[in-house]
Structures are given as C-alpha cells and as structure tokens.
Amino acid sequence: MKTNPKIEWLSDVQVFAVNRVPAHSDHEYFETVEEAKSGKPMSMRHVLNGDWKFHYSINPAHRPEHFYKHDFDSSVWGDITVPGHIQLQGYGQPQYVNTMYPWDGIADIRPPEIPTDHNPVGSYVKTFTVPANMQNKPVYISFQGVESAFYVWLNGEFVGYSEDSFTPADFDLTPYITEGENKLAVEVYQRSTGSWLEDQDFWRFSGIFRDVYLYTVPEIHVFDANIRGELDETYTKGTLMADLKFLTTQPAPSKVTAELYDAKGNLVASQDGEINEGASSISIAVDQPQLWNAENPYLYQLLIHIYNESGSLVEVIPQKVGFRRFEMIDKVMHLNGERIVFKGVNRHEFNCYTGRTVSREDMLWDIKTLKQNNINAVRTSHYPNQSYWYQLCDEYGVYVIDEMNLETHGSWQKMGQVEPSWNIPGNKPEWEDIVMERAVSMFERDKNHPSILIWSCGNESYGGEVILNVSRYFKKVDPGRLVHYEGVFWTPDYRETSDMESRMYAKPADIEEYLEGNPDKPYISCEYMHAMGNSLGGMHKYTELEQKYPMYQGGFIWDYIDQSLIKKDRYGKEFLAYGGDFEDRPTDYGFCTNGIVYANRELSPKMQEVKFLYQNIKLVPDFDGVSIINENLFVDTKDYVLEYSLLLEGKQIYCGQLEVVVKPQSEGRAEFNFPADIAAAPGEYSIQTGFKLKEKKVWADAGHEVAFGQYVFEVKAEEQPAVKGELRVVHGDVNIGVHGRDFSIIFSKQAGTLVSLNYAGREMIAQPPAPLFWRATTDNDRGFAQGFESGLWFAASLARKCTGIEVKEESSQTSIGFTYKFSISTEVEVKVTYSVLGDGSLHVKSTYHGAQNLPQLPIFALSFKSSADYDQLEWYAMGPEENYSDRSKGARLGIFKNQVTDNLSGYVMPQESGNRTGVRRLIVMNKKGQGIKISAISEPLECNVSPYTAFELENAQHIYELPPVHYSVITVAGKQMGVGGDDSWGAPVHNEYLIPADQDMEFEFRIERI
C-alpha cells in the first residue's frame, strides 16, 4: 500500500486508487426503523458542502505544495463553493471540445503522458468538527465526484488518492481524526492519466463537483448489499435475493431479518438470515408479485434489520425493490416476457449556470419532463450519474442504460477518419486495471436499481481485449442484465462485447439493410436524430421501423439538454454561450447545443415531435369514431379519459368525453356522439382526440395529454360571388396606383414590385416583397455545406432583375405582374402577379420556372417587412410549436396566438426558426387589432413572421449580435425544405423534403385588411 503521495501518480497508468475504500452499493442505512421510514436524510451522514478556502494554480509548479500542513495559513485565500466546477467560479476558463483531446496542438504527448505546463491545480481546505453522533466511531469521507484526480490529507496526514471523475471515492479518516477542529485538504488536478479515458463530448472542467460528506457506521454495518427482485421464466414467481457483506468491529451479528412490504405498506413476507464469515444471503419467495416496468414502476419496500449479539437493533436498511426479468428471447430483448422498444434520449448532467453540478430540483424537472413527453428510456451519456437520478428512474419508471466513465474518442478517430494507431485501451494490458476499476465502481454502486436494464462499456473507445473483458465482467457478476457497446461496429472481431447491434447515426435505410439480413442480434440506435439547433426532421422514419421489424428496438436521441453556459456580454447582459465564447482553444464551438431541451430547462419546439412519435397509444380518428392502438406492453387505458372535439375552421363547436379501456398490445374502437347535422355548414373541420390523465400522477397533473390524433375533412361551400367595389387606377411615370374605398396600393415600375399597401392610412409595407430562395442556415445546413452547395440561392435572393411588367385592368380587379430573372441561370424565372380586388384585398400568385443543373432550393417564398408595431399573430395552421415539412407529425391544426418575437426560437446560434406548415390563414396585427390577414387560396402555405430577415440571422453567431427589432419580417412560402437531423455533419435532408431546382412551382395567397 502506497502511503507517500507522489505527483508522478498523475501519469502512472498503474496508480489510480490509493487507500480508497472498495466500491460498494449506494444503499442508505439508519439506526431505527422510524428513521428508515421517515424519508429524512441519514443521521449518520454529515455534509461538507458549502464554502471552502481555495487557491488556484495554473500548473503544478505554481501550487502551494505544503498547504495541507497544520501550520500553513490558508485563511487569506479566496472561497469556492463545493460542489462546483473551478472554471465556473472565477478561476481559469471552461473549454468545450468534442472528439479531440483538449490539449491537441498545445502539448505533443501520447498516453499516459499529461500536459505539464497547463494542468490547473485546485487546492481546497475545509475545517470541521466531528458531529457528536459520530464521535468515538469510525469516520469515513465520501467524494461523490471529483474531476479528474485528487489527493486528500487530514490534519497534515496523507489519506489517499483517486481518479475516475464520476464514481464515488471513499476514504477512512478514523486514524487521522482529532478532537475539536480538523483540517481537510484536497488537491485537485485537471489532467491525469484518467483524462485520456474521459474524452467525452462535453465541457472540460475540474474540481469537486458533486457532494462531499462524512459518514459513520454502527458497530455492525452492512458494507455492501446486492439486492435483486428476480422472476422465474413464467413471470409469476418472484424471489427477492439479498447478499450482504458486513463491516464490523464486533463479533458476527446474532440476527439479520428482512421484511418485504408492498407499495401500500402491507407486510408481504419476512425472512431471517444467517451470518457466515462476514456475509449473509437472504431469499424470500413472492408468489404473483407486482412487476416493475416503466409503464407501472411498482416498487416494494425492503427493510433489513441488523441486530447485535445482545439482540439490540443496530442498523436498518431500507431498499426499494422491483421485480422484473430482462432477457434475450429469440434474438429480441424482452422485459417480463414482452418485446421492449426504447423510446430514449441520451442525457448529460447539465445546468447552464453550474455545469455538471446538477441539483435535485434539476433532476426532478428532468424526470418529469421525460415522462410527460413519452420518453421511456435514458442512456447516461457517457458516465455514471448521481445516485439520486437512478432512484428517480426506479420510482418514476424510466429504463436506463448505465454507461461507465470511458471515452477515448480522440485516440482513434481524427476529423472523422478512423486512425487507431495509438488507440487506448485497445489490447494494451497495462490499461486493463484502470479501465476495469471504472466498470467495477459503477456496477457495485448501481447494481440495486431495477431501472437499469443494460450496462454499457463506455462510449466511442474503438474496441479490443480490454473492453471485451469489461463486458465479460458485467456478464459474470450480473447475468440478469445485458451489455451494450457500440464500438464493436468499428471492430467486428470483438462483436462478443455487445449483446445488441448498436450504431450511431445510421440512416433508416442502413438500419433496414441490417435488419433484412437475418442478423444475429437485435438493433438499437444508441445515438440517433442529432438534435443540434433546428433539427429532428425525419424522425418518423426511425420510429416507423418499430412495428415493421421486431428486432428493431428503438433508440436514444442525441441528446436531452443543450450544453450551453450562461455568460455575460460586454454590456453585462446574460446570454447562453458555446465553445469558444470563453476564449477556450482548441474548441468545437457550437457543437455542444444538441438538446431537445434548452440549457435553461425550457422545452425546445423539437419536443413536440418527440412527444408525438414516442407516444405508446396511437389515436386514429375518422368522422364516426376513433381507433385506439394501445402499444403499451403492460398497462391498459383505464387511467385516461378520451377527449374528442370537433372544430370548424379552427374553432371548437363540440367537445365530448369517453372512458375507453383498451388492453395493452390491443386495439379498440370508440364511437363519437356528435349531434345530427353538426357538420352541415361549409368549411374545414378537424376532429381532435386525446387521452388525458384522469388523476394526478407524480410526474404530471390531471388533464395532462399522453396521446393525440386528428382527422381533417372539408365540407364544400358554394362559390362566392365576385367581390364588388370601384377601383381607380393611376398610371404615373414611375408608379401604378390602385385606389379604392379606404385603401391605396402602389406598384413601382422602377423598383419592380409592390411598394405600398395602405389601409385606412396604415402602411403595411416597410420593405417591399421580393422572391426569397434562402433561409438562415441551420446547424444541419452548415453540416452538409448548404452554403457551399446552394449558396447561389443566397445571391439570387439579394439580387434580381425585373424584366417585364404586365398590367391588366378588368371591371372587378386590376392585376400587375412582375417577371424576374436571376444571374445564377438564364432559365430561372419568377413571376409575381398582384391582383387588386374591389374591397382592397390583394390576390398574390408567385410562379417559379426552374432550370437543370442547379442545386436544391432552401425555400421558395415571398418576403416583406412591416413595422414592428405589427407584432401580434394569430395562426390557423399546424402548431402550436414551429414545424417543418419533415417535422410536423406532432403538430395539430388549430388557431394559435403568439408574438413575432416568439418565433425566434432559442437555438443558441441564430438560424432559421419559427416556421409553420399547413397555414390556412395568418393574421398580423398591432395591439389595437389592426393589420392584415394572409390566407391560402388553393393549397396551404408555409409561413414565418420573424423579427429578423434570413440574412440578419445568417450573419449573427449569437443572439446578442442581432440588431434591435424594427420590423416584422413576413415570409410566405409555397415550400421550404425540411430541417433534417440524421446527423449534423453531412447528412442531407431526405429527398422527399427537398426542393429540386428543375421543377416548376407556384403558390398563391390573399392579403386583406382586418
């Protein structure tokens, strides 16, 4: 055992845990039954969170080397908050990189070397007095998370050393404790050998970022508990197994009793255990147990009582237990005998103010958000999370892939190319112990959580014998779970490592090709739908595979939450920042903004699509009723009420409720009770159906909608008579004016467009309409180089030439048409015709004539500006959130209201946002209700009303770079290409959601005053 600390340990692959207490389960324990049942924090634990004295050094040479000694005065140091990252508390700077190592281009090193010139050191000091209830007892300290390596001293004596940022490190302080004040000193290094194994796609921080606490143990203590609720192959007979390991300063306890209670507190069974050589095993048979699953996360309460030789109770362990069986049957993963589909997300622990230091409130918000949006699974990308997260997944019902803290991406993939010449851990035996220790630490801590179905051997670390041995370890110690590792895709010789085929960002066609090839393993997408910025287009192509292929078992969206940090601009205003904003170099800039939830924990518009495509109940209404497809595996629909409503032109004219019970994995039907002839009036109708919670759940209030479906139909109206009204046409030298009662519309022959739309003295045109072919590039657009491939449409949107003006005067209307040519091609032509009717309404028709050998169009639209006073919007369209041609499955037809500024979605880098498909009409008005209505004439439109033009958005890298709002930019489109999302570094939008440049197109709409 090494007892003299050495700085060389930081780069010694064989030294990663010195004097550390062996890993053990995360169970709680109490002195009395009442305490155990109270739900209060453990009395035998004393938290050391809060203010610590702190010194920051840019590298080891500048550190206060002897700060741990008794006579070293640290009182003049500054303070730091624990838990928390050093770089978010005024010291150093955060750095974001994805695959490359953070020292790439700075330090010319190879593993296990570490940078010496820039290896920040945090020196922490905390003084404490041992609480009265811990005095004269063993005292331990637990560091729940420290990045990336640290040394510990107490009262000037060296205690221990540890690496692995994301699993606990416990040390025995008993030999060093003194009466009165104790001085705890911790020296934290940002870089260590472990840093080579922690090349995750995240911000690079350091420091004590999870809880620190002291704890004591009773005279007889269950050091480790392995507790599982097992099922036989019929899923009707359960066995509770509890294997206990004791830490004791007394002779073996005379008695161990286990009591199992159901969720209502009724005693189900009890069992006494025997002690042999510091261990005990208890087995309790349970007939017809309630089973645990995400749909009904039924948990039993186990109480383990430990008695000493005199028969006195010394320890009580409460443990939630879920009975479930997870297994592979005929090459398909099954839970409790049913084929499972993971409707998942990858989740980093993240808070925009505190980084990976997340609170219980953050985690509660997250778990409720997952449940409310039909997300049933989470992958802990790419490290073990705080213990509380797994408790929440147990209690709320979320399936977990628990991933060990391993990623060596930059050691084998450089700029997207596979180059494993110095890959670690690979087949290097010297790396096996440090890697295996991370697997052991995760397993031992987390093994008692029923929500964990799969162990993951880490992320993007290529393959080899070392990781294969990790997989073999998991299978040996825990045959009741399966093992995942995606890296075998790159190293097929090690396919044994993973029980399932797991790929990242495979296209739907690639997945189908695998599934059609009679594979030997089921398929999951451990990462798919790269949700960077305005993304998630085409997600339905993946979820449609769920019913087509039994061996397709779902996937995990990348990812849950944007990793954006709060920063202040030069004027003191907070904004969400990404890589490079902290002068961090090297950096991968905005690639950290991939969430379906914004970093400030607001839902992004993308969540609307996720919730719909992940719903377990499908509702397919028609005029008479609704077909109900219950794809839940275990629960029927009795907890929900079926609401149905009939809307005419977006306004509800009837609403009803039904109670319908459809068994799991079954289909049912409910008939509506509409009054006779309710749909007799002409117009567009929609029938909307939703299943809503009857009663409040822990994750949502009563009335929360869990499933939705709609049906749209039309009752034809008689043709309306022509609009009457007297028009006066004035042909000026430069302008053509069309005037009528309380309106004046002017067209400029010089500008070649409509220049004035004036209703009752209110001018609606601040900048004239012009053909628009460009949208502000999204992150995905940039990823597949849309600016390079289709940039000529950017130029075409800025420069056009009016080559013809046609004027046609009739008794009922006057039409002015403008023909435009573009320098990008002599063949491309756009004609915009404005027809003024007698009531002042304006019929607009835009026709595009295409050409061969041109790249796709991002959008085909007309765009103009109105004053920003016209900022109130009412949509009869698909909504309520923004949607696009390839991301509109979750949108519903209705009347929605918002403001222009609401359509600048919270994507950290400004880009296209705020679009609505299926627009029947759009009202743009001021706060007095004055303005214009834009209505589709033949086919529904796509529209956007934004405070900024596409070009203003294009030129800004941050929201704060955008100018003050002066206009409402109204864009009316016949079509906009989809946003895509298969990945954000080259995947194109699927063909059916593109706009080929060689096709002829047209759209038309009407503008009228309100």
* pLDDT (0 to 100) of residue 38: 87
Query: Of 527, 609, 874, 882, which residue is the catalytic one?
Result: 527
- Which two three-digit tokens encode residue 911? 């880009």
**252 confidence band (pLDDT: 50, 70, 90):** low
Other beta carbons within 10 angstroms of residue 285's beta carbon come to 11
- Cis before 478? omega within 30: no
Helices (H), 401-488: 432-446, 465-477
Nearest to 475 by CA among 329, 327, 292: 327
**127 confidence band (pLDDT: 50, 70, 90):** very high
Q: What angle separates helix 432-446 from helix 465-477, to the nearest 10 degrees?
A: 30
Strands 552-557 and 523-528: parallel
* pLDDT (0 to 100) of residue 717: 87
Tell me the C-alpha distance between 287 and 231, whole Å. 10
* pLDDT (0 to 100) of residue 876: 98
- Which two three-digit tokens encode residue 5? 């600390």
Q: How many residues does the chain have?
A: 1010
* pLDDT (0 to 100) of residue 953: 98
Distances (CA, A) of 781 to 349, 981, 982: 28, 10, 12
Nearest to 442 by CA among 474, 487, 488: 474
Amino acid at 591: F
* pLDDT (0 to 100) of residue 250: 59
pTM above 0.85, yes or no: yes
Q: What DSSP state is assigned to residue 123?
A: E
Range 237-263 average pLDDT = 87
- DSSP per residue, 599-613: TTS-B-THHHHHHHH
pLDDT at 71 over 80: yes
* pLDDT (0 to 100) of residue 276: 83
Range 17-35 average pLDDT = 96
Instruction: Dihedral sign for Cα 908, 909, 910, 911, please.
Output: negative
Tell me the C-alpha distance between 529 and 507, whole Å. 10
pLDDT tens, 618-644?
999 999 999 999 999 999 999 999 999
**567 confidence band (pLDDT: 50, 70, 90):** very high
Amino acid at 565: L
Tell me the C-alpha distance between 326 and 353, whole Å. 38
Q: CB under 8 Å to 877, separation ≥6 — which residues?
A: 893, 894, 896, 916, 917, 918, 919, 920, 921, 922, 940, 943
Range 660-672 average pLDDT = 98
- The residue whose two tokens read 């890959």 is 423
Nearest to 973 by CA among 1003, 934, 1006: 1003
Terminal-to-terminal C-alpha distance of the chain: 84
pLDDT tens, 74-125?
999 999 999 999 999 999 999 999 999 999 999 999 999 999 999 999 999 9
* pLDDT (0 to 100) of residue 11: 97
Tell me the C-alpha distance between 961 and 956, whole Å. 6
Whether 460 is catalytic is yes
Instruction: Dihedral sign for Cα 613, 615, 621, 627, please.
Output: positive
Tell me the C-alpha distance between 371 and 366, whole Å. 9
- Which two three-digit tokens encode residue 27? 């169970």
* pLDDT (0 to 100) of residue 91: 97
* pLDDT (0 to 100) of residue 811: 84
**251 confidence band (pLDDT: 50, 70, 90):** low
* pLDDT (0 to 100) of residue 247: 86
Helices (H), 295-355: none
CB 386 within 8 A of CB 438: no
Nearest to 242 by CA among 225, 259, 221: 225
Range in 171-180, 715-724, 946-955 with the lowest mean pLDDT: 715-724
Nearest to 280 by CA among 313, 250, 247, 249: 247
* pLDDT (0 to 100) of residue 95: 98
Range in 41-45, 421-425, 545-549, 883-887 with the lowest mean pLDDT: 41-45
* pLDDT (0 to 100) of residue 249: 55
pLDDT at 349 over 90: yes
Q: Taking the mean position of all CA atoms in its chain, how far away is CA 181?
A: 45
pLDDT tens, 375-397?
999 999 999 999 999 999 999 99
Query: Of 198, 460, 1004, 1008, which residue is the catalytic one?
Result: 460
CB 227 within 8 A of CB 240: yes
Tell me the C-alpha distance between 582 and 90, whole Å. 12
pLDDT tens, 461-502?
999 999 999 999 999 999 999 999 999 999 999 999 999 999
Distances (CA, A) of 67 to 125, 153, 159, 674: 8, 10, 15, 80
Instruction: Dihedral sign for Cα 448, 451, 453, 454, please.
Output: negative
CA angle 522, 629, 917 (to 5 degrees): 90
**39 confidence band (pLDDT: 50, 70, 90):** confident
Average pLDDT, the chain: 96
pLDDT tens, 874-887?
999 999 999 999 99
* pLDDT (0 to 100) of residue 723: 77
* pLDDT (0 to 100) of residue 725: 86
**3 confidence band (pLDDT: 50, 70, 90):** confident
Percent of the chain with pLDDT over 70: 99
CB 42 within 8 A of CB 131: no
Q: CB under 8 Å to 165, separation ≥6 — which residues?
A: 145, 146, 147, 148, 194, 198, 383, 405
Give the helix, strand, coil percentages of the chain, each rounded to 5.
15, 40, 45
**217 confidence band (pLDDT: 50, 70, 90):** very high
Percent of the chain with pLDDT over 90: 96
CB 900 within 8 A of CB 717: no
pLDDT tens, 407-431?
999 999 999 999 999 999 999 999 9
Whether 667 is catalytic is no
pLDDT tens, 502-528?
999 999 999 999 999 999 999 999 999
